[in-house]
């Protein structure tokens, strides 16, 4: 294990906050900037946060022949060991370095890009720190806990010029891409209603009972919490039980699926650079309206595999539907696509078959390979990714605005240009949260 000194970490932090002018210039010269003419050159990857989701995504990334994972950081000793074992097995050696503090990983000048797969509370902060350190970032979703962090995150990547990919991988999955292409083709007529399935929102604010805090090298509780408010240690949080708690989660869990499905609806209606102007909460849905009159229906679903009234059950989890004046298209994680009515479906009868993510679940990570491929290609080309900061900013803010309307239980008017609620101080205060001073 590589053991960076505290003085090195302090120097890294000083460099990271030196000045606005300095931060606009990469702190390192990454290999992709030096070797674009060599297509076989490997991108050196670091991993921040290892758990079930990271395991799934990383298995896909490691399958790319031009990616070499060289380091992993996690605050839990057992996860560091498990992640290292996976990476070393792929690499055929024992060279993957591990760190408790991800700042030590970011201080290395031989790492080009990082995969960030921590809990939600860390996503935006860690991504911005990585960008300031000259790293390109693939960040799991939801990428930010608040509207304010979405803005800050996007602005940071625009200023630093680093490449960013949000982990909303369904933009890279064939059947979802195909459904959007159908919507864009004009075959459905002018779109008037979009349907996005989301989890039924919920918020927990109570604390679990306190347990003895482990030694930092076993579980670094201070770093685990990071910018989230302090609370007593409980092992259930670390095991994944943090989900649903307001301090740790995004928008009452609305972004767990909404980051995917609302994002796809934004794409289908060509609204990647704008957002709805009104959000109306209801008992079973949240209705958002765009300035052009198109409605976005965020439909509450209790559990991923429960009966879903109004949806085609065989299309699987995370369904979306795009409805136009002439017809509609619906798809989901099963990989199938259904078009109606028959007159429109027959006109699209020769669509090529798409690859289902559920058909390849016995080989974890394959359904994210295309999304990772897009990221690595953009790391080399310096072009925007399919879920670049602007795409993330708008689709995530839509979800946060919808969650705010649900939390306040009233209709909210929204200004897409100002990215603020109109004449509602209480709603606007919820665009940000205070961050805890966590640095050690």
Let me know the angle formed at the C-alpha of 372 by 36 and 58, rounded to the nearest 5 degrees: 115
Residues in CB range of 86: below 8 A, 6 or more apart: 55, 58, 59, 62
386-421 per-residue burial string, b: 16 or more CB within 10 A, e: under 16: bbbbebbbbbbbbbbbbbbbbbbeeebebebeebbb
Provide φ and ψ at 243, rounded to 5°. -60, 135
Provide the residue count of the chain: 440
Q: Residue 116, SS3?
A: strand
pLDDT for position 308: 77
Q: Residue 169 contacts by C-beta under 8 Å, 6 or more apart in sequence? A: 367, 368, 370, 371
What's the pLDDT tens digit per position in 44-102? 999 999 999 999 999 999 999 999 999 999 999 999 999 999 999 999 999 999 999 99
CA dist 39 and 94 (Å) reads 26
User: What domains, with CATH codes, occur in the chain?
Assistant: 6-162 (3.40.50.720), 174-202+251-355+395-421 (3.30.360.10)
pTM: 0.89
Contact assessment for residue 236 and residue 215, using Cβ atoms and an 8 Å cutoff:
no
Helix 369-381 to helix 52-61 angle, to the nearest 10 degrees? 60
Can you tell me the mean pLDDT for 291-308? 87
pLDDT (0 to 100) of residue 19: 27
Which spans in 145-185 are helix H?
Answer: 147-160, 174-185
Closest CA to 390 of 274, 303, 262: 274
Q: pLDDT tens-digit profile of 231-287? A: 999 999 999 999 999 999 988 889 999 999 999 999 999 999 999 999 999 999 999
For the chain, first and last CA: distance in Å? 21
């Amino acid at each position: 294990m590589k053991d960076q000194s505290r003085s090195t970490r302090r120097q890294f932090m000083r460099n990271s906050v030196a000045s606005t002018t300095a931060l606009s210039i990469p702190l390192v010269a990454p290999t992709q900037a030096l070797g674009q003419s060599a297509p076989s050159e490997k991108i050196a990857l670091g991993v921040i946060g290892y758990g079930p989701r990271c395991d799934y995504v990383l298995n896909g990334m490691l399958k790319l022949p031009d990616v070499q994972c060289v380091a992993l950081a996690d605050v839990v000793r057992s996860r560091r060991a498990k992640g290292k074992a996976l990476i070393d097995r792929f690499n055929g050696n024992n060279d993957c370095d591990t760190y408790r503090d991800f700042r030590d990983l970011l201080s290395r000048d031989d790492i080009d890009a990082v995969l960030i797969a921590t809990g939600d509370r860390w996503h935006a902060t860690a991504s911005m720190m990585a960008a300031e350190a000259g790293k390109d970032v693939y960040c799991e979703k939801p990428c930010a806990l608040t509207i304010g962090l979405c803005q800050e995150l996007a602005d940071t990547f625009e200023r630093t010029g680093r490449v960013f990919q949000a982990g909303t991988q369904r933009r890279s999955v064939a059947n979802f891409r195909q459904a959007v292409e159908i919507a864009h083709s004009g075959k459905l007529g002018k779109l008037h209603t979009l349907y996005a399935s989301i989890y039924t929102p919920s918020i927990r604010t109570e604390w679990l009972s306190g347990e003895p805090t482990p030694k930092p090298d076993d579980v670094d509780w201070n770093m685990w919490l990071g910018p989230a408010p302090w609370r007593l240690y409980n092992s259930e949080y670390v095991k994944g039980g943090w989900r649903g708690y307001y301090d740790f989660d995004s928008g009452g869990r609305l972004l767990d699926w909404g980051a995917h499905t609302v994002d796809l609806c934004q794409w289908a209606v060509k609204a990647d650079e704008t957002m709805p102007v009104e959000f109306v909460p209801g008992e079973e849905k949240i209705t958002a309206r765009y300035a052009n009159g198109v409605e976005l229906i965020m439909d509450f679903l209790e559990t991923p595999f429960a009966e879903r009234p109004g949806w085609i059950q065989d299309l699987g989890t995370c369904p979306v539907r795009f409805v136009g004046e002439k017809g509609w298209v619906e798809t989901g994680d099963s990989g199938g696509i259904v078009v109606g009515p028959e007159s429109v479906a027959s006109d699209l009868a020769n669509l090529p078959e798409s690859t289902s993510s559920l058909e390849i679940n016995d080989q974890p990570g394959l359904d994210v390979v295309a999304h990772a491929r897009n990221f690595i290609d953009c790391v080399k080309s310096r072009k925007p990714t399919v879920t670049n900061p602007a795409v993330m900013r708008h689709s995530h803010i839509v979800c946060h605005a919808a969650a705010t309307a649900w939390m306040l239980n009233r209709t909210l008017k929204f200004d897409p240009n100002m990215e603020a609620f109109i004449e509602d101080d209480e709603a606007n205060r919820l665009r940000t949260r205070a961050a805890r001073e966590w640095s050690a």
